Structure 1
């Protein structure tokens, strides 16, 4: 074999070795499977790369190489079962009032706050008094969500019977019902409404937003005990993002309040 050919062969062999090493190293990095539940603007089911969750996971992956955070699609109804069964390791943007008190998982506060807002169609003479009382009003709600006004009960029959509720599977439907006059009051997540108003500023004129919110909630993470990452390691990664201003950059444009530190640790 000639010298030139030998050099070419050795160079190619070296590239293959490096490629194999990189691939094996990547494969060796533990995956943290994160629940991806349709919850605009956090997760958009029909646009996997859009939303606050993909930005959060990108930030977590960018700042370290010991773990790889990946989104795994699930649903509101399945997510806790998937966590128990190991289909997912981590559920994010959760709240104790949403039914996970009995789940065997580490609870970590994210230091993020969102809210559910009452909205109605803006009309001459209509003011904040329109939102009280709710009794006798037609409500538009997101099926499966837990609302403060109902004591966080989310049984469809109860909501229809006691609150004259029409249940939908999207915030867009709730907004449409309100704007078309088919519902008197709708419940919208503050972050979703903020994102929509950024795209459609006219909504600020079309909607009357209640000053009194249905609920303000702190977001939590639920980490499966068998996950490759420990609660302290996960919390430390999140706090690094907070310290560098990454959480503020991702969440504050959408009305999600970022606390300067996490007290519940």
Structure 2
């Protein structure tokens, strides 16, 4: 009859200790829950709930750079992100502006790590120029639900916005652009779209360059950071240290440019490297 081997691992461990060997212990894995909502091309959620865009690429390379850290994706929404954050459902959210309502919630923010801007779109018509965007209270507008916009003083409460503007809410940039192209002024005369998303759209639909009137003045220019939850497993300084290998190697810059986005001015000179670059 075979001998009972249930206690062999314990005996081996004692033997190793007796002769001066250290029993290998698996390194603890740090789990960081990352909040994600649809914010293309910076972040997106695919048809099978997978993360897309710059965030997907960034998390993939962070996984490679830090095998002892696990990034767990938690889906949220533009409107729900604050409640989920305070409830502790996620620990960090990438590519957020601290000006987007975060002052009401205990948090830390890294230095800005990304920049983009929002532009106004309308259907190009004879006699219509960019002065069409001067007074949006005279226009019917379609916006993304839960997004913060400069023309609305960053208000996201739909009832308050409906009191001030003739406004339609959506969860799709593609739908918003199509509404403009459909020439339905009773529904939408103006849409607000990020420059990076618009560049992608025009690359795929070059015929729209002549169909769409695009504002010269942006609705807002935003500099985006990583927001961390007070009391969470990591703070802003921790997230910068995790991002540093990607910045130092140039990989992060390549990822940003791949998605038609930009680094903030002075990003490399202002980045808090733990040691000076060689």
- Shorter-chain TM range is 0.7 to 0.9
**Are 2:226 and 2:236, in contact at CA under 8 Å, matched by a contact in 1?**
no
Matches within 5 A, 1:1-265: 25=26, 28-47=28-47, 48-182=50-184, 183-259=188-264, 260-261=267-268, 263=270
Report the TM-score when normalising by structure 2.
Answer: 0.79
User: Per-residue CA shift, 1:94-122, capped at 9, x if unaligned?
Assistant: 11221110211221123211111101112
Provide the rounded CA distance (Å) in 1 between the counterparts of 2:77 and 2:206: 31
Report the TM-score when normalising by structure 1.
Answer: 0.82
User: Per-residue CA shift, 1:117-163, capped at 9, x if unaligned?
Assistant: 10111233332222212231111111111110111112222322322
Number of residue-to-residue matches in the alignment: 243
Match of 2:11 in 1: none
Deviation at 1:54, TM superposition (A): 0.8
**Are 1:247 and 1:258, in contact at CA under 8 Å, matched by a contact in 2?**
no
Change (3 A) 1:73 1:178: same
Q: Which runs of 5 or more residues in structure 2 are unaligned? A: 1-23, 273-278
Provide the rounded CA distance (Å) in 1 between the counterparts of 2:99 and 2:253: 25
Change (3 A) 1:80 1:160: closer
**Are 1:97 and 1:146, in contact at CA under 8 Å, matched by a contact in 2?**
no
Q: Which runs of 5 or more residues in structure 1 are unaligned? A: 1-21
**Are 2:116 and 2:221, in contact at CA under 8 Å, matched by a contact in 1?**
yes
Provide the rounded CA distance (Å) in 2 between the counterparts of 1:119 and 1:94: 23
What RMSD, in angstroms, separates the aligned Cα atoms of the two structures?
Answer: 2.4
Matched position secondary structure for 1:204: helix
**Are 1:135 and 1:163, in contact at CA under 8 Å, matched by a contact in 2?**
yes
Deviation at 1:199, TM superposition (A): 2.4
Provide the rounded CA distance (Å) in 2 between the counterparts of 1:262 and 1:112: 14
Higher helix share: 1
Change (3 A) 1:79 1:200: same
**Are 2:141 and 2:167, in contact at CA under 8 Å, matched by a contact in 1?**
yes
